[in-house]
Amino acid sequence: MFTRLSRWATTVPIALALAAGLSGCGSSGQAVPAGTSPAASASSGNGATTLTVFAAASLTGTFTELGKSFEAAHPGTTVKFNFGSSATLAQQITQGAPADVFAAASPATMKTVTDASLASSPTTFVRNKLEIAVPADNPAKVDDLKDLADPKVKVALCAQQVPCGAAAVKALEAAGLKVTPVTLEQDVKATLTKVELGEVDAALVYKTDVLASGGKVKGIDFPEADKAINDYPIAALSKAPASDTAKQFVDLVLSAQGKDVLTKAGFEAP
């Protein structure tokens, strides 16, 4: 289905994975420092609490908003986020990165964490589906999914190992199409950026990412997207340094307030 990545890494050394996982910026713009112990991550020693949330890249806007609301409702608590590919985040968690909450873009990536007994009873909180993203002026005149099979059309896709890439595989198979992308990206935000910069003519990304672009790209619906909908599960981690606070954040995501923020961004109720 896809051209092979020439330098795709199938394994990541623990030190590199931890460094990547701990570099995510929180709502305060601070990074979780490498080498921080779980206890130090949870509390600064003066009564303040740090909540570390690992979340799929497509949740960046909504979770940042919810993080600010959570901080306002819990004085002394700072929410730090690590946004990225769900597959990479799951790997970081299983390799020991200190985190309190994991919100994944697919059940398969959450299963990596639950199979390691690092989370239990995850809850599906939203669903998301693909759209074709094209530049606002749509120079390649892409109208539907079959146009992506034209070798003259430069296409970006998420790598197959990550949820948006796995969804793209399902959608293209449902349409009976073979698409050869010019680039495979490690998360949906990077894939969308290729369209925003005009480096490709089209990409398959989530509907929510098209809406979040603020008009920089145009979204095109296609029927096969209904056969590749991703469920998003969330769970407080069993070894969460800030376990009580983690459960409270999950409750916020599952609440009416959380649902309102997420559905306004284009997510669908499960």
Q: Which CATH number fits domain 14-127+232-264: 3.40.190.10, 3.40.50.12160, 3.20.20.370, 3.20.20.70?
A: 3.40.190.10
More confident residue, 5 or 231: 231
Is pLDDT of 37 > 70?
no
Is pLDDT of 35 > 60?
no
pLDDT digits 0-9 by tens, 55-109: 999 999 999 999 999 999 999 999 999 999 999 999 999 999 999 999 999 999 9
In this structure, of 5-9, 68-72, 156-160, 167-171, the range with the lowest mean pLDDT score is 5-9
Residues belonging to the chain: 270
pLDDT digits 0-9 by tens, 233-265: 999 999 999 999 999 999 999 999 999 999 999
**257 SS3 class:** helix
Same fold, 14-127+232-264 and 130-227: yes
Q: How far is CA 212 from CA 9, 27, 140, in A?
A: 29, 18, 22
Closest CA to 144 of 219, 208, 229, 213: 219
DSSP-derived letter for residue 66 is H
The residue behind tokens 């923020």 is: 261
Is pLDDT of 27 > 70?
no
Q: What is the CATH number of domain 130-227?
A: 3.40.190.10
For residue 152, the model assigns a pLDDT of 97
Sketch the domain layout of the chain as residue ranges.
14-127+232-264, 130-227
Q: 237-265 burial string, b = 16+ CB within 10 Å, else e?
A: beebbbeebbebbbebbeeeebeebbeeb
- What percentage of the chain reaches a pLDDT higher than 90? 82
